[in-house]
Amino acid sequence: MKTVSIYLRSVRTEKGGQLSLFDSNRNSGIDDLETLVAPGSMVIWKPDCLSSIKAITAIRAKSENNALFGNKPVKRRFCKGFYLLIPKDIKEGREAYAIDYVTCDGEKKSIDPYIKIKPPQP
């Protein structure tokens, strides 16, 4: 099973407080990220070591008909973050989801990146 980690960091830009995201596939973005995963993979969301994030409060589907989040993301024990097992039989596609978090300043924020399911490799 392949594991893809998504790291989060609260940053200040000219637009104010935003979320810097980067994943173990070497993709990155500010307030937006498209992470490529294979069916049967595990996705882990966690704050970067210098994140300025007090807590990730939820990882949730943006729509009710979201096949990817049929299994709800699970809060990781003894650490800040969540994980999700991607079903092995999921079809190729792109799913929007939300990350809700609290900064060390106590500010509650939410952003909506994407997970893209790639076709299974033969």
Give residue limits of the domains in the chain: 3-117
Residue type at position 66: N
pTM of the predicted structure, to 2 decimals: 0.88
| 54/48 Cα distance (integer angstroms) | 11
| 66/114 Cα distance (integer angstroms) | 12
| Fold of the domain spanning 3-117 | Immunoglobulin-like (2.60.40)
pLDDT in tens, 79-105: 678 999 998 888 888 888 999 999 999
pLDDT in tens, 48-61: 988 999 999 999 88
% of the chain at pLDDT higher than 90: 48
63-67: long-range contacts, CB 8 A cutoff, minimum separation 24: 63/96, 66/95, 66/97, 67/91, 67/93, 67/95
